[in-house]
Structure formats: C-alpha cells, structure tokens
C-alpha cells in the first residue's frame, strides 16, 4: 500500500504532540446557499486497489460515481533518489503493470472492449482515458508522493536546478505522456491527454513524515518555490500546445497548525495552486491507547474539520480554494473497557479488519452497522458517528455525517469535498451520492 495505513496512523499520532485548541472557524463569505455554484468533488483512486479489493476504473461507472466526480486524483506517482518522477516495475516503489501495461478484458473496461496486445496504453491509465471520454468534464490529476512515497521530495525541491529538473520530469512523464517502453506498451506520447494536472502530496515539508522521509527547515521556502516552478512550467506547456484551459495544480495539506507553519507559506502558495485538499481525517487513530473521533466536524480543544478550515483561513487561504477531506473508511479499536458508549475509553489495540488492523472500508462498516450487533452512536453537535458493540469501536463517516459536512461547505463558501478513497465506498456509491446530493443542497 503506497499511502500505507500504518504511516497514516503514525502521522496523526505524531500530530497529537502538537495538539492546539482551535478557535471557532472564521466564517467565509457564503455563496447564497450554494445552489448556484459548482463545487469540486475530488476522489482518490488507488493504484493498488485493482488487486486485493478488485476495484477497477470501470467500477466508477458501474456505481454511478464517475458522473458525480469533478476530479480523480490517481494515487500515487513516486520520486526517485535523483529527484525525478519515474515509473517501472519495482516492488514497493513503482507499478507500471497496474498503471499502463496490464490488459483489461471487456467486462472490466469502461468502453466494454477488451485491450489488445498491440495498443501502447493499457492498465489504469487507458481506463481513465476511456472514463474521461464518457464524462468530458471530468479531470484526472496525478498525485505525487503520499505518506510512503514522499521520501525524496525535500531533495527534489532543494535547489532551483533540482526543482526545474524535477518538474520537467513529471510533466514529461505524466502530462506529455512519455512512458518508458514495456514491450508494446508505452513510448512517446502514449499517455498524452490522460492527466489534466498535478496534485502535490508531500507529507510533510518542514516536519516529520514516514520514517525514511527527509525533511529540512528550509522545506517551507522550497515548497513555495516548487509550487511556483510547477505553475510556471505547466502554464508554459499549455501555451505551447495552444491549450484553451490550463493544467490544474493542487496540494494535500495538513490539519496540525504546527505542521502548517513549518512547511506552508499559505498566502504565497495559494496564488499558484488552484485548490488544496485539507486533511479531514486521522485526527485520532487506532494506534492510540484510547478511543477517539477521527474526523469530527467540530471538537472543542481537539483536532476537527472546523479547526482545520479556520487554521487555513486565518493564514490567508481563500475559502473557495479549500476542499474538505472526508474519510470513506473508519478507525477502529478493540478491547475497549469502561462502559458507556465506548468513546474516550481505554482500548487494548487496533481492531481486526479486512486489510489492515484498525482500518476498515465504509462498505464493510455499513455491514457491521446493519448486522444488529453494533449500536450507532452520534455526537450531533460535533458532527461525527461511531459503532460500538461493547468491545470494539469504529469511528467513521456515514451519509448522515456527510450531509452535515456538505452543509458546512455550502455555508462557509468552501471549494468542495475530497475523499480517501473511492474503492472504500459501497457497490452503489452510497457515500459519493450523499456528498453529491449534499453539495447540491438536496
């Protein structure tokens, strides 16, 4: 798993030491109720989800999500020790087979036609191209880094020369689509037109991330310069192609004020970014000794979505460029003692789960909720929910929570919603539908 769940647990646990009480969110200018504006709906598609979860691009068409999304962030692209975007078949580092080599049969293809051995583009990239053909307004961004693959971001951003070379390599690989040759697959321009921009998922400039991820005090100024370099080169390439619309540039950004201040010159980067997606989850994680909310809308004296929005607004981010992150998964604990509804109680460890202890897809949690063995609890003021059976607790977002969050987006004039990750939704796209309906004011 490229954005390893253990890594995601670690970053949030690390953030706890930086815990700061948040003031109430500053209210941005509303948009007249939100009915007349277009909101971004950004979903992460995981490269590795095509294996164990068997979640293919075609499933976005089958479950109705494709017609509701405005953006798909493809997770992830990696950065080499030399500071270049790259792909290949390197276990744990790159998966060209999933990206553009793997042939899809007719049943798993968006257009219903099986891939041939001769076509230069297959795999997820070709399916994304077919999905865009069915939905012309849909944009696909390549997301660079993630928890596990932010290792070399700091080195790549270190100097003007390294930044220039790094950005050139990413544009060449993903925007121009010049893929390495792999048998009949790949070659010059093979993936041209698949990606409409780049999402920077550096976790985290200026502060600790995964155990092998380099960070430096100067990352803050270097990240600002890197964003500028991406904006400059993307715009230049768009002009050279006489492209009518620009290539988009976004970034995934943290909730902890200390991490924001260590790595992000907010006013400057927001000039060059089209939007940022806010960390709206993993506020607390199953590696902690007590149960707690992981994605509350509001929480006095604790991490929350409202506190994250407020932190970015106070530092100069425009409200309409803030896209709220929402989890399509839950954090879980077992061995919970102390009685009551289970929230805030001691636990013996992460709950058993399908893919990783303490982490479960919404589609599995929905089955638990419907089983009758768990009770659904809600903090309506805080805007979060959890399941508890007396021993095991799962904190998660369901459609009712997402309705409250989309109402908040509309009320505060935010830019939209982002979700990690699309493969965790139900077969009929229940969470995606809830977000879409909520942003439409329905």
Give catalytic residues, as residue numbers: 203
**Token code pair at residue 5:** 């769940």
d(C-alpha 210, C-alpha 92), whole Å? 14
334-337-339-343 Cα dihedral, nearest 10 degrees: -60
Those residues whose C-beta lies under 8 Å from the C-beta of residue 372, and which sit 6 or more positions away, are none
Nearest to 416 by CA among 321, 318, 340, 283: 321
Structure tokens at 81: 């020790």
Alpha-carbon distance of 381 to 395, in angstroms, equals: 16
Whether 153 and 79 have beta carbons less than 8 Å apart is answered as yes
Q: List C-alpha distances in Å: 37 to 27, 239, 393, 423.
A: 18, 28, 38, 27
Q: Check: CB of residue 389 under 8 Å from CB of residue 375.
A: yes
Report the residue count for the chain: 442
Please give the Cα distance from 62 to 111 (Å, whole number): 12
Cα–Cα distance, 83 to 163 (Å, whole number): 8
Radius of gyration of the CA atoms of the chain, in A: 21
């Amino acid at each position: 798993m490229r954005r390893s769940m253990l890594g995601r647990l670690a970053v949030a646990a690390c953030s706890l030491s930086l815990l700061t009480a948040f003031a109430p969110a500053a209210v941005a200018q509303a948009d007249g109720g939100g009915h007349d504006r277009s909101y971004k709906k950004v979903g992460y598609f995981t490269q590795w989800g095509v294996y164990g979860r068997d979640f293919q691009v075609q499933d976005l068409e089958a479950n109705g999500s494709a017609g509701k999304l405005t953006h798909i962030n493809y997770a992830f692209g990696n950065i080499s020790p030399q500071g270049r975007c790259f792909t290949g078949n390197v276990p744990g580092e790159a998966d060209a087979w999933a990206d553009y080599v793997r042939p899809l049969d007719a049943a798993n293809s968006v257009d219903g036609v099986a891939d041939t051995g001769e076509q230069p583009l297959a795999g997820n990239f070709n399916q994304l191209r077919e999905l865009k053909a069915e939905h012309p307004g849909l944009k696909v961004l390549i997301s660079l880094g993630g928890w596990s693959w932010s290792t070399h971001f700091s080195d790549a951003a270190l100097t003007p020369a390294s930044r220039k070379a790094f950005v050139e390599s990413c544009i060449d690989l993903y925007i121009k689509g010049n893929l390495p040759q792999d048998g009949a697959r790949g070659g010059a321009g093979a993936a041209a037109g698949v990606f409409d921009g780049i999402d920077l998922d550096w976790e985290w400039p200026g502060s600790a991330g995964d155990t092998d991820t380099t960070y430096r005090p100067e990352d803050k100024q270097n990240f600002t310069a890197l964003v500028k370099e991406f904006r400059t080169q993307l715009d230049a390439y768009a002009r050279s192609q006489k492209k009518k619309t620009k290539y988009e540039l976004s970034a995934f950004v943290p909730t902890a004020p200390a991490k924001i201040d260590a790595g992000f010159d907010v006013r400057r980067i927001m000039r060059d970014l089209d939007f940022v997606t806010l960390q709206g989850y993993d506020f607390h994680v199953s590696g902690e000794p007590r149960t707690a909310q992981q994605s509350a809308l509001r929480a006095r004296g604790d991490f929350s979505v409202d506190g994250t929005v407020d932190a970015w607004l106070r530092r100069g981010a425009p409200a309409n460029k803030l896209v709220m992150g929402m989890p399509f998964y839950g954090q879980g604990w077992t061995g919970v003692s102390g009685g009551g509804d289970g929230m805030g109680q001691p636990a013996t460890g992460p709950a058993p789960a399908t893919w990783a202890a303490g982490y479960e897809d919404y589609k599995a949690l929905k089955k638990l909720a419907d089983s009758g063995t768990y009770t659904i609890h809600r903090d309506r003021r805080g805007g979060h929910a959890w399941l508890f059976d007396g021993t095991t607790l799962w904190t998660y977002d369901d459609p009712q929570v997402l309705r409250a969050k989309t109402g908040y987006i509309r009320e505060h004039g935010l830019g939209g919603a982002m979700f990690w990750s699309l493969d965790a939704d139900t077969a009929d796209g229940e969470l995606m539908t809830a977000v879409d309906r909520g942003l439409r004011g329905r």
